[in-house]
């Protein structure tokens, strides 16, 4: 049995309540019967044709009729940019009513979409449906009457204009372009056009995620490309020339027609775009539940992160990005112990590595808010300027010995200059020393770091990079020393000119050689202090504070598509990154700005990654030899691992070697498998397993033999690297 449906609501709400004022619309959604009619009748024509289709197709479910039900069913729907009718939301007491409405909408034709400035746009409507339906029959007559009234008013206006022309003959006065003869609503003109994913061609940073960067590493480093991959994060615009982000994302999209389905599986939560600006807003998550099988005190580990992520562009040259995290968590015992061992002054219980200072949550957990963001300005094709709060990374490997992203976010100003075969990166940072020994009047000690990194493509296969860095503090109230703003001068010269302890300078060299389009080798060489006489003297002087890295990557390994293999070796000699002054170490918030193990170590790393459609898997193995201090019983007990200890307390002058002191072997393996829920936001459902074995020569308060088996399942928006391999 067919019934009249929805009719009284069309005139009062369905076609206007979701849009309030339709003055921004150039053309309404059009059925074929509405083509060519005058503009004033487009809305009514759409109402009449839509109403007729609903009356023809909708059948009231028997359960609703039999119970003599009276109530309201609310339906929000839209006509999208392709002219398809799509239900966004339904609210009804009976599922049968919802199912019938879905059936009717699936049977509706595709029509011409609404347009604004000549561009197709989606238009949304709200439809409260009153039941019973037998009171709706007169509505078509009301629609027809309204159409007649519009036509009559239009004809009357035409007649009035003719009378005016007769009464006022002569030359017409030309309209003044600055004169508005009737009120308009600028607010209602602010409407989104078709969203074209401008992020992928913008100057927004690609979030630091080893798994995500591994997807385009091969394309970005093909033989003959004039690219520079070491200075990270990279911009979407510089990578999109070689790797089509949108095409790869679109290949993963699912056929989701409902609003909720599209937002969860395919799209940004909120997106807005005009020809002048755009922005998106997303909710981020890191919801984890796990078990440390070696922790007998707690049943579970957990992390509860909610985040708001906003990014966009204003014009062609200015982009912005901001994310605010609210976090609570408790982790495996070894990780909790390390977080508490680097606690700041002031009574807070821990610093969550890579995130920030934490306060106590529910007695045995941590609450640690984090905020990151930046402005990215590109005044020319050669220069990008960023000012923000976040992390940076320099290198082609999993680790970096010169600048890594394992420390807490920090304020920075960065200039990337790219031309010819060069990319030159200048970064200035404000860092904190939060130890009780240096805290003054309740505030943490401020220090500054400035970096230069020059990347040069020597040939189509070989890339070399030259790095220098200096750390200085606000001694003698000099604040940010303007000497270090010079983007080309050598920092070592300034360090000498400002005094013996004016700064702590480090230099380094990076290199990469492309063996083929399927792989390359890379490396780093770090010099904190270099004494040629001591090196060639063969006595193993403590002054030879050096480190180096060598590694290789293999893409589509063994002809298996999307199989990524990586091997890496790192070693850093004792006392590297430390300084004879108390503050001028290479650290921030009690964490290293380079390798997360500090110094006095060597490690081997093996990594495998695989992707298929939305599924992925990672495997990582790390074996290392590390040298810690014994119990601190006085002076001369520093064996060179802790970069925050002054090198004046060194235990040895000569015979210094890696692993000295409390020699410790460390084994770490991590397996992770997951499913990419939303490829646009990189939301992942995952499960992971971590095994860690830590075996020192002697047990101390913070360094003692322990073994950990830790399993986790979770839902995570993967937009930063979180390291658990301490």
**pLDDT tens-digit map of 416-434:** 999 999 999 999 999 999 9
d(CA 521, CA 397): 10
**Residue 154 binned pLDDT confidence (cut-offs 50, 70, 90):** low
Task: Look at residues 458, 395, 469, 464 and name the one whose alpha carbon lies nearest to residue 427.
Answer: 469
Cβ–Cβ < 8 Å for 309, 717: yes
Q: What is the pLDDT at residue 282?
A: 98
In the chain, what percentage of residues exceed pLDDT 70?
Answer: 85
Residue 699 has pLDDT above 80, yes or no: yes
Residue 689 has pLDDT above 80, yes or no: yes
552: helix, strand or coil: strand
Average pLDDT over residues 610-636: 92
Q: What is the pLDDT at residue 126?
A: 74
Could you tell me the CATH number of the domain that includes residue 431?
2.40.160.130
Residue 619, token pair as written in the block: 């495997």
Q: What is the pLDDT at residue 523?
A: 98
End position of a domain, from candidates 130, 147, 164 = 147
Instruction: For residue range 343-400, list pLDDT tens digits in order.
Output: 999 889 999 999 999 999 998 999 999 999 999 999 999 999 999 999 999 999 999 9
Q: What is the pLDDT at residue 73?
A: 78
Of 101-110, 452-461, 648-657, the range with the highest mean pLDDT is 452-461
d(CA 144, CA 45): 9
State whether 476 and 569 are in the same domain. yes
The answer as to whether 114 is a domain residue is yes
3-state secondary structure 160-179: HHHHHHHHCCCCCCCCCCCC
**Cα atoms found within 13 Å of the Cα of residue 212, Cβ hemisphere only:** 24
Instruction: For residue range 32-83, list pLDDT tens digits in order.
Output: 888 878 777 888 788 888 877 877 888 888 887 777 777 777 788 888 888 9
**Residue 537 binned pLDDT confidence (cut-offs 50, 70, 90):** low
**Residue 464 binned pLDDT confidence (cut-offs 50, 70, 90):** very high
The answer as to whether 129 is a domain residue is yes
State whether 104 and 213 are in the same domain. no
- The range of the structural domain enclosing residue 127 comes to 7-147
3-state percent helix, strand, coil for the chain, nearest multiple of 5: 20, 40, 40
**Residue 147 binned pLDDT confidence (cut-offs 50, 70, 90):** confident
State whether 458 and 527 are in the same domain. yes
State whether 471 and 606 are in the same domain. yes
Q: What is the pLDDT at residue 257?
A: 85
Residue 589 has pLDDT above 80, yes or no: yes
Instruction: For residue range 174-229, list pLDDT tens digits in order.
Output: 444 444 444 456 777 788 888 999 999 999 999 999 999 999 999 999 999 999 99
pTM: 0.76
Q: What is the pLDDT at residue 723?
A: 97
Q: Which residues sit opposite 611 in a β-bridge? A: 616
Q: What is the pLDDT at residue 21?
A: 41
Residue 97 has pLDDT above 70, yes or no: yes
State whether 214 and 139 are in the same domain. no
The answer as to whether 155 is a domain residue is no
Whole-angstrom distance between the N-terminal and C-terminal Cα of the chain?
A: 70
State whether 622 and 696 are in the same domain. yes
Residue 630 has pLDDT above 60, yes or no: yes
State whether 338 and 479 are in the same domain. yes
**Residue 531 binned pLDDT confidence (cut-offs 50, 70, 90):** low
State whether 121 and 254 are in the same domain. no
168 vs 114 pLDDT, higher one: 114
State whether 135 and 211 are in the same domain. no
What is the chain's length?
A: 726
Q: Whole-number mean pLDDT of the chain?
A: 86
d(CA 470, CA 118): 55
**Residue 555 binned pLDDT confidence (cut-offs 50, 70, 90):** very high
Residue 686 has pLDDT above 50, yes or no: yes
**Residue 6 binned pLDDT confidence (cut-offs 50, 70, 90):** very low
The answer as to whether 495 is a domain residue is yes
The answer as to whether 166 is a domain residue is no
117 vs 665 pLDDT, higher one: 665
Q: What is the pLDDT at residue 98?
A: 85
Cβ–Cβ < 8 Å for 602, 659: yes
**Residue 17 binned pLDDT confidence (cut-offs 50, 70, 90):** very low
The answer as to whether 482 is a domain residue is yes
How many folded domains does the chain comprise? 2
State whether 423 and 568 are in the same domain. yes
The answer as to whether 186 is a domain residue is no
Average pLDDT over residues 448-476: 92
State whether 591 and 709 are in the same domain. yes
Q: What is the pLDDT at residue 4?
A: 34
End position of a domain, from candidates 123, 147, 171 = 147
The answer as to whether 164 is a domain residue is no
State whether 137 and 246 are in the same domain. no
Task: Look at residues 331, 335, 285, 329 and name the one whose alpha carbon lies nearest to residue 307.
Answer: 285
d(CA 187, CA 24): 10
Q: Considering only 107-121, 202-216, 570-584, which range has the smallest mean pLDDT?
A: 107-121
Residue 284, token pair as written in the block: 């981020």
Q: What is the pLDDT at residue 174?
A: 46
In the chain, what percentage of residues exceed pLDDT 90?
Answer: 62
State the burial class of residue 371 (Cβ atoms within 10 Å of its Cβ: 0-12, 13-18, 19+). Answer: middle
Average pLDDT over residues 559-574: 97
Q: Considering only 34-43, 180-189, 235-244, 556-565, which range has the smallest mean pLDDT?
A: 180-189
Q: What is the pLDDT at residue 460?
A: 97
Q: What is the pLDDT at residue 268?
A: 97
Where does 438-503 show beta strands of DSSP type E? 445-457, 462-473
End position of a domain, from candidates 147, 163, 189 = 147
């Amino acid at each position: 049995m067919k019934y009249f449906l929805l009719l009284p609501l069309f005139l009062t709400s369905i076609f206007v309540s979701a849009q309030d004022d339709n003055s921004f619309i150039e053309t309404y959604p059009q059925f074929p019967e509405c083509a060519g009619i005058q503009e004033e009748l487009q809305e009514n024509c759409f109402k009449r044709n839509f109403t007729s289709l609903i009356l023809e197709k909708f059948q009231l479910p028997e359960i609703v009729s039999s119970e003599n039900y009276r109530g309201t069913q609310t339906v929000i729907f839209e006509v999208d940019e392709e002219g398809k009718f799509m239900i966004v939301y339904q609210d009804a007491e009976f599922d049968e009513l919802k199912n019938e409405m879905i059936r009717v909408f699936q049977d509706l034709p595709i029509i011409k979409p609404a347009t604004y400035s000549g561009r197709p746009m989606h238009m949304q409507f709200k439809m409260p449906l009153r039941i019973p339906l037998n009171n709706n029959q007169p509505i078509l007559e009301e629609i027809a009457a309204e159409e007649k009234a519009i036509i009559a008013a239009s004809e009357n206006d035409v007649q009035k204009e003719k009378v005016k022309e007769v009464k006022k003959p002569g030359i017409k006065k030309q309209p003044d372009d600055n004169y508005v003869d009737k009120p308009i609503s600028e607010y209602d003109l602010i409407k989104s056009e078709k969203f074209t994913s401008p992020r992928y061609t913008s100057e927004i940073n690609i979030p630091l995620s080893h798994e995500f960067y591994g997807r385009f590493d091969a394309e970005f480093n093909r033989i003959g490309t004039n690219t520079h991959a070491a200075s990270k994060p990279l911009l979407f615009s510089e990578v999109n020339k070689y790797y089509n982000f949108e095409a790869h994302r679109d290949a993963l999209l699912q056929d989701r027609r409902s609003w909720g389905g599209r937002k969860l599986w395919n799209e940004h939560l909120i997106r807005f775009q005009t020809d002048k600006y755009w922005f998106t807003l997303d909710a981020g998550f890191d919801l984890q539940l796990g078990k440390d099988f070696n922790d007998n005190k707690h049943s579970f580990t957990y992390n509860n992160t909610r985040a708001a992520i906003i990014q966009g562009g204003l014009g062609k040259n200015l982009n912005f990005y901001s994310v605010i995290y609210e976090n609570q968590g408790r982790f495996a015992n070894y990780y909790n112990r390390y977080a508490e061992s680097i606690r700041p002054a002031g009574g807070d219980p821990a610093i969550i590595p890579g995130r920030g200072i934490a306060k106590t949550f529910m007695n045995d957990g941590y609450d640690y808010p984090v905020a990151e963001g930046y402005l990215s300005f590109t005044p020319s094709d050669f220069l990008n300027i960023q000012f923000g709060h976040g992390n940076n990374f320099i290198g082609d490997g999993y680790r970096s010995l010169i600048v890594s992203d394992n420390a807490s976010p920090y304020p920075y100003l960065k200039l990337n200059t790219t031309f010819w075969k060069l990319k030159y990166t200048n970064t200035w940072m404000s860092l904190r020393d939060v130890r009780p020994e240096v805290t003054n009047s309740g505030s943490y000690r401020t220090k500054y770091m400035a970096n230069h990194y020059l990347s040069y493509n020597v040939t189509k296969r070989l890339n070399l990079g030259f790095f220098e860095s200096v750390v200085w503090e606000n001694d003698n109230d000099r604040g940010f020393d303007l000497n270090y703003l010079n983007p080309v001068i050598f920092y070592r010269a300034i360090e000498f000119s400002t005094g013996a302890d004016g700064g702590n300078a480090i230099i380094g060299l990076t290199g990469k050689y492309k063996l083929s389009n399927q792989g390359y080798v890379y490396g780093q060489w770090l010099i904190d202090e270099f004494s040629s006489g001591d090196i060639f003297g063969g006595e193993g002087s403590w002054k030879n504070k050096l480190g180096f890295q060598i590694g290789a990557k293999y893409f589509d390994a063994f002809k298996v598509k999307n199989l990524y293999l990586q091997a890496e070796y790192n070693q850093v000699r004792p006392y590297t990154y430390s300084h004879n002054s108390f503050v001028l170490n290479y650290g921030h918030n009690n964490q290293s700005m380079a390798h997360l193990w500090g110094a006095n170590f060597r490690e081997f790393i093996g990594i495998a990654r695989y992707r298929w459609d939305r599924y992925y898997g990672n495997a990582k193995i790390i074996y290392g030899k590390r040298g810690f201090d014994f119990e601190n019983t006085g002076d001369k007990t520093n064996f060179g691992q802790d970069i925050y200890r002054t090198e004046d307390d060194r235990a040895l002058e000569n015979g210094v070697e890696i692993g000295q002191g409390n020699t410790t072997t460390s084994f770490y393996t991590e397996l992770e498998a997951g499913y990419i829920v939303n490829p646009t936001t990189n939301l992942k459902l995952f499960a992971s397993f971590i095994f860690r074995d830590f075996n020192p020569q002697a047990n101390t308060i913070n360094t003692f033999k322990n073994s950990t088996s830790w399993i986790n399942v979770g839902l995570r928006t993967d937009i930063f690297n979180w390291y658990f391999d301490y």
